[in-house]
Amino acid sequence: MGKWTARLIGSVAVLLGTAVVALAAVGGSLYWDAVQRNGEQSARDEVTPLAREQIPRVFGFDYQTVETNFTEVYQFLTPEYRDEFIERTTNEIIPQARERQLVSQANVVGAGVLDAERTAASVMVYMNRTVTEKAGKPVYDGSRLRVDYQKIDGKWLIDHITPI
């Protein structure tokens, strides 16, 4: 085998190796894009109905069962947001609900995805709420909320709720 033949074979081998690596990179990139798109679509499909179900439970309570209500709600929250939510409900909401004998009824009238990724999503929620005190007239309130979700261990959890 001649000097030129060896160089030619070496060059072809390098080119083939480079082509294989390039094709693998393109294939991997296309695969990852498909995974991301599927994850985004899955998030869109899952979080809107979840927000419609969970938000009335987060904002609706009866002063007689307020602790039980919030104990059930805590499971919908990420660990970080749960700590913040527990502190707020324990120090503010539960004492006020008992003292003023509040009943809060919440109803989601609209919801839609603002942003979605494989492991995070944000939903705009339009909520109507009626709060009634023991001796008072009902107070009606319409709210827009941004509900941020985080997917942890395959489960969508509320990461934050922001009034808009």
Residue at token pair 């001649």: 2
Phi, psi of 40 (to 5 degrees): -65, -45
Say whether 73 sits in a helix, a strand or coil.
helix
State how many domains the chain has: 1
76-115 pLDDT, tens digit each: 999 999 999 999 999 999 999 999 999 999 999 999 999 9
pLDDT top residue among 34 and 137: 137
DSSP 8-state secondary structure symbol assigned to residue 75: G
Domain residues for the domain of 48 are 1-163
**Lowest-pLDDT range of 1-5, 61-65, 102-106, 133-137:** 1-5
pLDDT given at position 35: 60
Closest CA to 55 of 129, 141, 119, 150: 129
Q: Which CATH number goes with the domain that contains 67?
A: 3.10.450.230
**Lowest-pLDDT range of 38-47, 80-89, 111-120:** 38-47
User: Which residue(s) pair with 104 in the sheet?
Assistant: 61, 131
User: Which residue(s) pair with 158 in the sheet?
Assistant: 77, 149
pTM, entire model: 0.77
pLDDT top residue among 10 and 59: 59
pLDDT given at position 39: 59
How does residue 52 score in pLDDT terms, banded at 50, 70 and 90? very high
